[in-house]
Chains A and B, each alone.
Chain A
């Protein structure tokens, strides 16, 4: 046991790990928001509720179908993603030509409905979800104890983030997507089904939220309001990073998680507000966000 700046190394690295894990969720969620915003010009307020739905789907799969974590991590994003596509077809599609604010208000209303319904059936107390057997236990790194599951969360979300980046920035499909973001009419004229592309994009963004929810289930309790408070922090992350770049969303997400973890060690009272304060500073210094394009 040694100390760094008067803080026991265990505590410091423990909080840094916790920060990294929070950062993984910030990154996955803000990535989903950025992907959706790029295509639909809508800030998806339902994102938090969809993250919660992912966690609950994992819970239902285990409870009623006996399907464990590894099934859940595949099935839940698909189920919630399809649910998202239905929402897009039923509601968001009809708001396309209106002020973007209506999309925000609609998704806010949907979030209230989804979270309200779950709160009625499951109350406010959380439901437990066990860490999968294959990831139980941990590794002693010498300077700290690293639970295997947490290591998995960080590594896997990093992989998912980078895969999403690759998909959007380096593949043909991603090229269509980026082109449709810039000029949907022109892309349509080339014979690409833009409305379907939009629906799929929304589904993928929502799926990312659900995936984050499944990964969060064994760490935090599954509860109806698990997404509501998180999403506001993610909004701040998005404001800091700017939604112009996919890589920006990933870097900002992980970075802010780490900073939040450090705040918990050195200045615990400010842990809840650190990200908001950083947001205020970024707005003063770089109004367009760290990776944003000037609008």
Chain B
């Protein structure tokens, strides 16, 4: 008995490599504002969180959602609307966006998990497109203009977020807390069942697990974290627009996760960093961005399936 307890504790305890990697990542983001433009870094953090949320689904349950922009974009709309029109404080605005994403996650998830594999991707994509049309037509989103000039407000009524440093620290804390939560989820007994579903769904069913409930729970969690990312992004850029709910955004988060490494803890954040930096340099080439993204997709799928972090982990034989 004692042995098995010790073993299971070892199973859920973070590996040394992961602790070091987490400290390195945190250190980078703490030091980075001295070298890089804070808004750029906040973009990296928001997309990093979005990709981590997405990875929770594809990396640990093996479900490819092609409609995650739905949660990201709608959370961003509601958060922007709450801050601007309802005059809510930033923490409540983010909460409103997150709750919206969670509710949408329950609805979309319940529909999508009724089919497996490739159909799952098509259903999520179709439902996301439907919600895109709603965003296009709903009056409060202001169609093509989006919700502009969203006030950042005062966090808890005290901290002024229009100060760039305050905003950065807030976003960084949100990112790190969510990152740790996601890490905890994938290393919990719940997370182990998710991995079992990924590896062999029929066998997991035969072991007596209600697979669909686990999948739905994972889907809702993923949608919720994507919502946190979207809601935060609306405050950072003071803007919520159609770009955030459209399908290229869904594709982009897939790409970030793929580049960083599917099913790795640090991959999505690394992938987001890579893609946001790349797009930053590529803004001058306009429409070619899509071509570049396409080429990266093809290269990753053909020869670089482990992704950046996955490849490092493979070469150094450590868990990342």
Contact = CB atoms under 8 A, between A and B. Distances in A.
Give me the 4 closest cross-chain CB pairs, A-B, nearest first: A109-B297, A112-B294, A113-B294, A116-B290
Interface residues of B, number: 43
B137 A116 contact: no
Contacts of A43: 118, 121-122
B290 A119 contact: yes
A119 to B, nearest CB: 5
Interface of B: 58, 62, 64, 66, 111-112, 114-119, 121-123, 125-127, 129-130, 133-134, 137, 247, 251, 254, 258, 286-291, 293-298, 300-302, 305
A110 B301 CA distance: 11
B301 A284 contact: no
B40 to A, nearest CB: 24
Nearest to B286: A120
Interface residues of A, number: 45
A140 B80 CA distance: 53
B58 to A, nearest CB: 8
Contacts of B122: 43, 235-236, 238-239
Given A91-B298, A106-B302, 19 more contacts: A37-B118, A43-B121, A43-B122, A91-B302, A101-B58, A104-B64, A106-B301, A109-B298, A109-B301, A110-B297, A112-B291, A112-B294, A116-B287, A116-B291, A120-B286, A236-B122, A273-B133, A276-B127, A279-B123
Contacts of B62: 99
Given A235-B122, A279-B126, A110 B287 contact: no
A111 B302 contact: no
Given A112-B251, A238-B122, A273-B130, A105 B301 contact: yes
Contacts of A94: 302
A100 B294 contact: no
A100 B301 contact: no
B149 to A, nearest CB: 27
Contacts of B130: 273, 276-277
A117 B291 CA distance: 7
A239 B305 CA distance: 28
A102 interface: yes
Q: Counting chain B CB atoms within 10 Å of each CB, which of A101, A104, A114 scores highest?
A: A101
Nearest to A284: B111
B114 A287 contact: yes
A64 to B, nearest CB: 23
A101 B293 CA distance: 18
Contacts of B294: 109-114, 116
B297 A108 contact: yes
B62 to A, nearest CB: 8
B123 A101 contact: no
Contacts of A112: 251, 290-291, 293-294, 297
A144 B18 CA distance: 70
Nearest to B107: A280
Given A43-B121, A117-B291, A287 B115 contact: yes
Nearest to A120: B287
Contacts of B112: 283
B114 A102 contact: no
Contact of B126 (A100, A114, A117, A236): A236
Q: Counting chain A CB atoms within 10 Å of each CB, which of B114, B115, B301 scores highest?
A: B301
Contact of B295 (A111, A113, A287): A113
Contact of B111 (A100, A105, A114, A283): A283
Contact of B123 (A110, A233, A239, A288): A239
